[in-house]
Amino acid sequence: MPNAILSVFDKTGLVEFSSRLVQLGWTLIASGGTARLLAENNLPVTEVADYTGSPEILSGRVKTLHPAVHGGILARPTGEDHAALQSLGWDYIDLVVVNLYPFEGTVAKPGVTLEDAVENIDIGGVTLIRAAAKNFERVTLLCDPADYGQVLTELETGAVSVETRRRLAVKGFVQTAHYDTAISNYLDPHTPFQMQLYPVQHLRYGENPHQSAVLYAYLPDGGPLGGRVLQGKELSYNNLLDLDAAWHACLSYTRPTIAIVKHLSPCGIASDDDISVAFTRALACDPVSAYGGVVASNRVVDENMVSAMGSLFVECIIAPGYSQGARELLAKRKNCRLVEAESMQITPDYELRSVNGGVLKQSVDQGDPADTEWKVASQRQPTPAEWQALRFAWKACQHVKSNAIVFARGEATVGIGGGQPNRVDCVRMAVQRSGENAQGAVMASDAFFPFGDSVQIAAQAGITAVVQPGGSIRDQESLDAANAANMAMVFTGTRHFRH
């Protein structure tokens, strides 16, 4: 009879899988809680300690680390190796079912102690995985419950193919590499930075047809932006960049918010109790640029929002969900891709960017630090309406390429300028795009004004209040320009460059 050893933390589907193994004539060997679960379900199982003749020691720290176990796994399908096992009273182990203590889940918990983290470093499980993976020519490794079904199907029709065993072995080595990386990064964040990425989609091309591209995810089954595509052809490299930028922007707000992005630049952001109204106001900021852009919503997309889109051509939409009516309406837009996000969190909390010969790593800009204090620097205080618009514009400008300028009224952008080498040109861009809507609007700038000219141009366009970091040696010039125009000016003390 073939032998299987089972030692799992995640017991999803284990009883059903083991029951089928027994029906197929397999002998079950298991350790600790795994053995107890199988016995409680009336499955014949031999404890590892009984099989090896050696008890678990050190409060269960040592269970499967025994020559009877690893000899049975690593033995080759030769008469000599089999005879060596039998001379010691042991036999082949043909199937290894194992998964690991949740180290990453443990250290992600608030207040976790070093002792807790160390106790969740799996030793026996990792060793079982590596041994089974090494001997994949004979042994089948199962380190993911998602693979139980395929292995059962193959066993029921004969034997597990060598191709499947090899694939599962690779999966095991990938898992242990990821596990070791997580441990080393936790114990010493200053060690060489390591990470595990999984290719989840080979893209048709990169930014241009002559560039190759692949989407990698942090999880082997990760979808685009951690979500899943519900409709439309596969996402392109540029789609993914734009969707990511739009998703970051709309998640900056707790109120129902829409962000429209084109070529990595927001062309409209708005909030409203009604997500369809938020869309209409975001679109009004720059309807020309919005054509062929992507849309992000931090609320479920409903029929009213789809109706508000009218005939606008949209490449992609990302949202936490879609109503049935919205899905039916959007199904008519064959070229519109729909992405359903599975989380409203921005993960990971760092960003990577390649440079020649290396990689830059920085923490994600999550907005103003908790100790940020806004100060009114002008002679005039902002009105309540201006305060609302200033706070909205300040968040919006954090997602615009530097030198970022955002005009806003209420909770909607009315003009955006960014990505130019000088700030005054970005102000002119915002003035041009906002037109008459600049009258009575406020302005946000991601960094300080080195001269007073930008404030003067904004005042001439009708801007009534400004929020900026301050800190320039020429702050007084900007303040003088604001006071001369009876504008309110607020310093945040925090810069939000985005290159």
CA angle 192, 198, 199 (to 5 degrees): 130
pLDDT band at residue 397 under the 50/70/90 scheme: very high
pLDDT tens figures, 284-336: 999 999 999 999 999 999 999 999 999 999 999 999 999 999 999 999 998 89
What is each CA distance from 114 to 195, 381, 492, in whole angstroms?
A: 21, 50, 38
Portion of the chain with pLDDT greater than 90, in percent? 74
Q: Name the token pair of 362.
A: 């920085």
pLDDT tens figures, 477-499: 999 999 999 999 999 999 999 99
When mean pLDDT is compared across 13-22, 63-72, 161-170, the lowest value belongs to 63-72
Residue 224: asked if its preceding bond is cis (omega within 30°), the reply is no
What is each CA distance from 326 to 184, 294, 302, 310, 335, in whole angstroms?
A: 46, 17, 5, 13, 15
Nearest to 387 by CA among 373, 414, 371, 408: 408
pLDDT tens figures, 129-173: 999 999 999 999 999 999 999 999 999 988 999 999 999 999 999
When mean pLDDT is compared across 32-36, 228-232, 393-397, 415-419, the lowest value belongs to 32-36
Whether residue 134 lies in the annotated active site = yes
Architecture in CATH for domain 3-187? 3-Layer(aba) Sandwich (3.40)
Nearest to 27 by CA among 42, 44, 11: 44
Among the four given CATH numbers 3.20.20.150, 3.40.140.20, 3.40.50.300, 3.90.1640.30, the one describing domain 227-364: 3.40.140.20
Q: Which residues contact 331 (CB under 8 A, 6 or more apart)?
A: 231
The residue type of 58 is L
Point out the catalytic residue in the list 70, 109, 134, 401: 134
* Cβ burial, residue 416 (10 Å; 0-12/13-18/19+): buried
- Which residue shows structure tokens 């490449």? 315
Portion of the chain with pLDDT greater than 70, in percent? 100
Output b/e per residue, 240-274; b: 16+ Cβ within 10 A: bbbbbbbbbbbbbbeebbbbbbbebbbbbbbbbee
Q: What are the phi and psi torsion angles at 115 (to 5°)?
A: -60, -45
pLDDT band at residue 123 under the 50/70/90 scheme: confident
Q: How crowded is residue 174: how many other Cβ atoms within 10 Å of its Cβ?
A: 15
Q: How crowded is residue 129: how many other Cβ atoms within 10 Å of its Cβ?
A: 25
When mean pLDDT is compared across 58-62, 360-364, 387-391, the lowest value belongs to 58-62
Is it true that domain 375-491 has CATH number 3.40.50.300?
Answer: no
Q: What are the phi and psi torsion angles at 158 (to 5°)?
A: 150, -95
What is each CA distance from 206 to 212, 240, 344, in whole angstroms?
A: 5, 10, 27
User: DSSP string of 55-75?
Assistant: --BTTTTBSS-SHHHHHHHH-
Pairwise CA distance, residues 323 & 302, whole Å = 5
pLDDT band at residue 262 under the 50/70/90 scheme: very high
Between 180 and 388, the more confident residue is: 388
Between 307 and 53, the more confident residue is: 307
- The pLDDT value recorded for residue 55 is 76
Q: Name the token pair of 338.
A: 């729909």
Judged against a pLDDT cut of 70, whether residue 189 lies above it is answered with yes
User: Quick check: 247 and 341 in contact, CB under 8 A?
Assistant: yes
pLDDT band at residue 178 under the 50/70/90 scheme: confident
Point out the catalytic residue in the list 109, 263, 399, 496: 263
Q: How crowded is residue 435: how many other Cβ atoms within 10 Å of its Cβ?
A: 11
Alpha carbon dihedral 392, 398, 399, 404, in 10-degree steps, equals 100
**Helix ranges (DSSP H) in 286-353:** 287-290, 303-309, 324-330
DSSP 45: -
Pairing assessment for the beta strands 350-355 and 358-363 based on DSSP bridges: antiparallel
- The pLDDT value recorded for residue 483 is 97
Q: Which residues contact 460 (CB under 8 A, 6 or more apart)?
A: none
**Helix ranges (DSSP H) in 88-203:** 103-107, 114-119, 124-134, 148-156, 162-187
Q: How crowded is residue 117: how many other Cβ atoms within 10 Å of its Cβ?
A: 16
User: Quick check: 67 and 122 in contact, CB under 8 A?
Assistant: no
- The pLDDT value recorded for residue 3 is 92
Max Cα–Cα distance, the chain, nearest Å: 98
Judged against a pLDDT cut of 90, whether residue 367 lies above it is answered with yes
Judged against a pLDDT cut of 90, whether residue 48 lies above it is answered with no
User: Quick check: 407 and 437 in contact, CB under 8 A?
Assistant: yes
Whether residue 210 lies in the annotated active site = no
DSSP 121: -
The residue type of 159 is A
Judged against a pLDDT cut of 80, whether residue 195 lies above it is answered with no
- The pLDDT value recorded for residue 90 is 85
Q: Average pLDDT for residues 190-201, to the nearest whole number?
A: 81
Instruction: Say if 227-364 and 375-491 have the same CATH topology.
Output: yes
- The pLDDT value recorded for residue 60 is 67
Domain spans, the chain: 3-187, 227-364, 375-491
Pairwise CA distance, residues 404 & 400, whole Å = 5
Mean confidence (pLDDT) of the chain: 92
Pairwise CA distance, residues 492 & 375, whole Å = 6
Q: Is 0.85 topped by the overall pTM?
A: no
Pairing assessment for the beta strands 405-409 and 412-417 based on DSSP bridges: antiparallel
Nearest to 250 by CA among 260, 240, 239: 260
Pairwise CA distance, residues 340 & 318, whole Å = 6
Between 92 and 259, the more confident residue is: 259
Q: How crowded is residue 158: how many other Cβ atoms within 10 Å of its Cβ?
A: 7
